Amino acid sequence: MSSPALPTQSAFARLWDSAGMLLVLAGLFLVCSLGVDNFLTATNLRGLALAVSTIGMVACTMMFCLAAGDFDLSVGSVVAFAGVLGGTVMNATGSVGAGIAAALASGALIGLVNGVFVARLGINALITTLATMQIVRGLGFIVSDGRAVGIRTDGFFALGNTAWLGVPVPVWLTVACFLAFGVLLNLTVFGRNALAIGGNREAAHLAGVPVVRVKVIIFTLQGLVAAFAGLVLAARMTSGQPNTSQGFELEVISACVLGGVSLSGGVARIGFVIAGVLIMGLVQNAMNLLNIPPFYQYVARGCILLGAVMLDRMKQRELRWPTKLDLW
Amino acid sequence: MPDPTSAPVLGFDGLTMEFPGVRALDAVSFGVRAGSVHALMGENGAGKSTLLKILSGAYQPTAGHLQLQGVRTIFPSTAAAIAAGVAVIYQELHLVPEMTVAENLLLGRYPRRGAWLDRAALRAEAARLLQLVGEDINPGTRLGRLPLAQRQMVEIAKALGRGARLVAFDEPTSSLSETETRRLFAIIRDLRDRGHAILYVTHRMDEVFEICDAATVLRDGRHVVTHGTLADVTRDTLVRSMVGRELTNIYNYQPRPHVPNGLEVRNLEGPGLRQPVSFSVARGEIAGFFGLVGAGRTELMRLLCGAVSPTAGKVMVHGTAVQGGSPRAAIRDGIVFCPEDRKKEGIIAVRSVAENINLSARRNHLRGGLLLDSAWERTNATAQITRLGVRTASSATPIGLLSGGNQQKAILARWLSEPVRVVVLDEPTRGIDIGAKSEIYALIRELATAGASVVIVSSELPEVLGIADRIFVMREGALAAEFTREQATPEAVLHAALPSAAA
């Protein structure tokens, strides 16, 4: 019996699949360097990197959430809450360590609650994290009485406002997150299990993947990292702001999806996330340099998100048709 | 009987369909006559599904066209196919379970009075359509409450309501019971006698000879043969043209030594079982579980593999009681499970073949207890792909792109990658072509020879009789009978499987 040809992707399709968004990023960078005044300066690039550092950190764990077929809307509130709580505790105790510990612990706890509700109790992630998003936002206002918490322990500001080798510390921390979560995704059973769960939860369960445990850990990590990002942000601003980062969760998800992480789960790469985060930041930066009013920037960001979701959809369809039809 | 000389109502003319890297159909031509049931046969991957997709308007061919009552045509959309009187009834029915039967039947063309839905007309028309298929269903029933067989009838009625002259069925009996199949056949005969043309895709040889008037065989996307009448066609001829080679005995049964103390099941109780179940399977033994749909076989297997927790009873492997509670725990105790619904519960479609193979066993091959051993991952995937003859472009190809048989081999490879004591296979060859089947049987034999206790569930009697050392029959949620290979005649096994009222 002759064996029929098997489906293979063209070389271009493969390249696009693995590095498409990195190419877009490179192209955008080139265009901005040539076309936008003051773009290619050390000061601007440092500012750009700093601007995406918060999104970058949280996008790492959001990638895991999406990989496992979930998402987390509470991260923006956690970022704000962690800054406020950390600042309040530092002011009260005079200890930077205590403030950081309290913020991280509360972030992880919120994540754990999300995880238990979603994975163990089977409540929809949208509903669960929509609820915790509001609860935690409210807690931030309660703790701070609705006002910014000016932080009085100067040592804390090193986290946000110092530089190493000319690069701001928050940027280094983001790079560290990319590395750590890239390794976690690609080189550990945990990462592969997350992708398997997102790809087909039931099949993963029957194959012995501890679905509930993996999901709970993912949400807990998500809360922990969001709290950490909130602390770094507070250090940069030298205060904890209860109303910061509204809509942040959507920016993070946009960045991931823009990079090519699939909303329906099972497909994620750290390179996707890095590309998505940088493209978002780059576009925003270029718009600022071009003096495009903020009102228009909202419109542009929405359009970019829509474009990214469409890309995700098209990619899915490419993969879905044979799956669904059982062609061969 | 249809007149074999009448002009075909539907013709396929040089139909070619190319997808990136594969030609799914290669210049396929044949005709289907009005008033006849035309079988379309071929292994998985032969191109049957693609042909149906083109017929339904979901795909447009790369080359060639259809001939509808002598007129050249290509359907640009599914709506165009429906308008032209073509209906394709897939295994997965295109109905909305939350809506009523009547709403489903007239979906997209509700009768109106002005801006309002004309409920009386909706009900009346639905009742008329249901009568066409001889179903006594209340049109106001929510569709989701109907058993699968009746939903299929609703789908047929829906097609007739849209004026379908050609109805194509894609393996319509795959999840029907014997009685339900009878009923479906009666409807199909009735449609035929009223002058409809029927295209009938199936794997099952018996059905071809029972209900079909003509047959076309495809292989690797090419047209092999069309028999205008089946009068002097034999089973063997058809099988030969499907596989392009002789298949002697695909089961190739050979006795193996049995070592006691393999799998012991004692008084197991749980959802779907009406009575406690006890049985044992020795090491090296293959136990076949036969029964009608709904007899409790799948439920029993899910209890065994930890997917569902038993309410009472005990499962022992090699003399030690297993913890149970989750598939993960069962796997650690040496019980692995290959589920019935490959797509829903077996494969992770978007992930690569290698990922799917390594999914479970990789935890035993870590570096420093933490990091994946990429060398092992690569070697194991490649070795299993070669060993099982999984046809894939590369180990990095998403498994969803493979054919059903190759997906199944990859799932089996998942369990061959680690030491197993008990292998539970639920319908391992469902929807798989005969070539891949014989390879899967070889693997099952290999597993048993290596000392595993194999439990295989099948609805195909020849399969159970062909491969198993011992046959257990389930009936109405209980273990009804047990046969040795020598005792098990098809009649005896089937008799034991039928509910007592019908026996």
CB B219 within 8 A of CB B240: no
Question: Which tokens is B365 given?
Answer: 């091959």
CA distance A33 to A25: 12
CB B15 within 8 A of CB B61: yes
Confidence of residue B378 (pLDDT cuts 50, 70, 90): very high
| From the candidate CATH numbers 2.60.40.640, 3.40.50.620, 3.40.50.720, 3.40.50.300, the one assigned to the domain spanning B247-334+419-503 | 3.40.50.300
Q: B44, A328: Cβ pair inside 8 Å?
A: yes
Q: B328, A195: Cβ pair inside 8 Å?
A: no
Q: Where are the domains of chain B?
A: 8-243, 247-334+419-503, 350-418
Higher pLDDT, B226 or B21: B226
pLDDT confidence of residue B3: 52
Confidence of residue A14 (pLDDT cuts 50, 70, 90): low
Sign for the CA dihedral angle at A177, A183, A188, A193 comes to positive
Question: β-pairing, B478-484 with B470-475?
Answer: antiparallel
Q: State yes or no: pLDDT of B51 exceeds 70.
A: yes
CB B451 within 8 A of CB B420: no
Confidence of residue B418 (pLDDT cuts 50, 70, 90): confident
3-class secondary structure, B213: coil
Place of tokens 């009685």: B179
DSSP state at residue B7: P
Our CA-based measurement puts residue A180 at a distance from the nearest CA of chain B, in whole angstroms, of 13
pLDDT confidence of residue A3: 37
Confidence of residue B286 (pLDDT cuts 50, 70, 90): very high
Q: Whole-number mean pLDDT of chain A?
A: 88
Q: B397, A200: Cβ pair inside 8 Å?
A: no
Q: State yes or no: pLDDT of A326 exceeds 70.
A: no
Q: A323, B401: Cβ pair inside 8 Å?
A: yes
Tell me the per-residue pLDDT of B162-189, one tens digit each, with 9 for 90 and over.
Answer: 888 999 998 888 778 788 888 899 999 9
Tell me the per-residue pLDDT of A95-113, one tens digit each, with 9 for 90 and over.
Answer: 999 999 999 999 999 999 9
Q: State yes or no: pLDDT of B329 exceeds 60.
A: yes
Q: State yes or no: pLDDT of A7 exceeds 60.
A: no
Higher pLDDT, B2 or B74: B74
Give the residue-averaged pLDDT of B49-56.
Answer: 91
* Residue in B19, B348, B403 nearest the CB of A203: B348
Chain A CB contacts of B394 below 8 Å: 8
Give the residue-averaged pLDDT of B313-327.
Answer: 89
Give the residue-averaged pLDDT of A9-18.
Answer: 62
pLDDT confidence of residue A183: 94
Q: State how far the alpha carbon of B233 is from the alpha carbons of A251, B189, B245, B283, B482, in Å.
A: 66, 20, 17, 43, 37
B169, amino acid identity: F
pLDDT confidence of residue A316: 57
Confidence of residue B5 (pLDDT cuts 50, 70, 90): low
Q: State yes or no: pLDDT of A312 exceeds 70.
A: no
Tell me the per-residue pLDDT of A192-202, one tens digit each, with 9 for 90 and over.
Answer: 999 999 999 99
Q: In chain B, how many H helices and how many E strands?
A: 16, 24
Q: State yes or no: pLDDT of B500 exceeds 70.
A: no
3-class secondary structure, B381: helix
Task: Spell out which chain A residues touch chain B, with contact meaning CB-CB distance below 8 angstroms.
Answer: 1-10, 13, 186-189, 192, 195-196, 199-200, 202-210, 262, 265-267, 319-320, 322-323, 325-328
Confidence of residue A236 (pLDDT cuts 50, 70, 90): very high
Confidence of residue A10 (pLDDT cuts 50, 70, 90): low
Q: State yes or no: pLDDT of A15 exceeds 80.
A: no
Tell me the per-residue pLDDT of B118-174, one tens digit each, with 9 for 90 and over.
Answer: 889 999 999 999 998 888 889 999 988 888 888 888 999 998 888 889 999 988 887
Q: State yes or no: pLDDT of B243 exceeds 90.
A: no
Place of tokens 């299990």: A193
Which of A40-54, A109-123, B160-174 is least confident? B160-174
- In this structure, what are the phi and psi dihedrals at residue B93, rounded to the nearest 5 degrees? -75, 145
Q: Do domains B8-243 and B247-334+419-503 have the same CATH topology?
A: yes
Confidence of residue B347 (pLDDT cuts 50, 70, 90): very high
Q: What is the DSSP string of B456-487?
A: EE-S-HHHHHHH-SEEEEEETTEEEEEEETTT
Q: State yes or no: pLDDT of B36 exceeds 90.
A: yes
CB B465 within 8 A of CB B490: yes
pLDDT confidence of residue B284: 94
3-class secondary structure, A95: coil
DSSP bridge partners of B113: B116
Give the residue-averaged pLDDT of A265-294.
Answer: 91
Q: State yes or no: pLDDT of A75 exceeds 90.
A: yes
CB A72 within 8 A of CB A62: yes
Question: Which tokens is B503 given?
Answer: 């026996």
- In this structure, what are the phi and psi dihedrals at residue A243, rounded to the nearest 5 degrees? -110, 20
A78, A83, A86, A87: CA torsion to nearest 10:
-150
Confidence of residue B482 (pLDDT cuts 50, 70, 90): very high
Tell me the per-residue pLDDT of A144-154, one tens digit each, with 9 for 90 and over.
Answer: 999 999 999 99
pLDDT confidence of residue B491: 82
What ipTM is given for this predicted complex?
0.81
Q: Where are the domains of chain A?
A: 51-244
pLDDT confidence of residue A130: 96
3-class secondary structure, A37: coil
pLDDT confidence of residue B501: 45
Q: B220, A327: Cβ pair inside 8 Å?
A: no
Q: State yes or no: pLDDT of B69 exceeds 80.
A: yes
Rounded to an integer, what is the distance from CA A100 to the centroid of its chain? 21
Q: Whole-number mean pLDDT of chain B?
A: 87
The runs of H, that is alpha helices, within B247-339 are 297-304, 327-332
pLDDT confidence of residue A328: 31
Q: State yes or no: pLDDT of B492 exceeds 90.
A: no
Confidence of residue B503 (pLDDT cuts 50, 70, 90): very low
Give the residue-averaged pLDDT of B365-374.
Answer: 88
DSSP state at residue B502: T
Confidence of residue B6 (pLDDT cuts 50, 70, 90): low
Sign for the CA dihedral angle at A91, A94, A97, A101 comes to negative
Q: Which of A206, A212, A319 to mutate to test the interface with B (most CBs of B within 10 A)?
A: A206
B-chain residue closest to A326, CA distance: B403
CA distance B403 to A241: 55
Our CA-based measurement puts residue A94 at a distance from the nearest CA of chain B, in whole angstroms, of 39
CA distance B173 to B165: 21
CB B276 within 8 A of CB B313: yes
pLDDT confidence of residue B451: 92
* Residue in B21, B345, B348 nearest the CB of A7: B21
Tally Cβ neighbours within 10 Å of residue A37. Answer: 9
Question: β-pairing, B22-33 with B8-19?
Answer: antiparallel
Q: A262, B350: Cβ pair inside 8 Å?
A: yes
Q: State how far the alpha carbon of A257 is from the alpha carbons of A186, A229, A270, B433, in Å.
A: 18, 20, 12, 39
Q: State yes or no: pLDDT of B226 exceeds 50.
A: yes
Q: State yes or no: pLDDT of A16 exceeds 70.
A: no
Q: What is the CATH number of domain B8-243?
A: 3.40.50.300
CA distance B414 to A203: 12
Q: State yes or no: pLDDT of B236 exceeds 90.
A: no
Of residues B187, B251, B265, the one with CA closest to residue B439: B251
Confidence of residue A62 (pLDDT cuts 50, 70, 90): very high
Q: Each residue of A244-259: b (16+ CB within 10 Å) or e? A: bbeebbbbbbbbbbbb
pLDDT confidence of residue B392: 85
Q: A6, B391: Cβ pair inside 8 Å?
A: yes
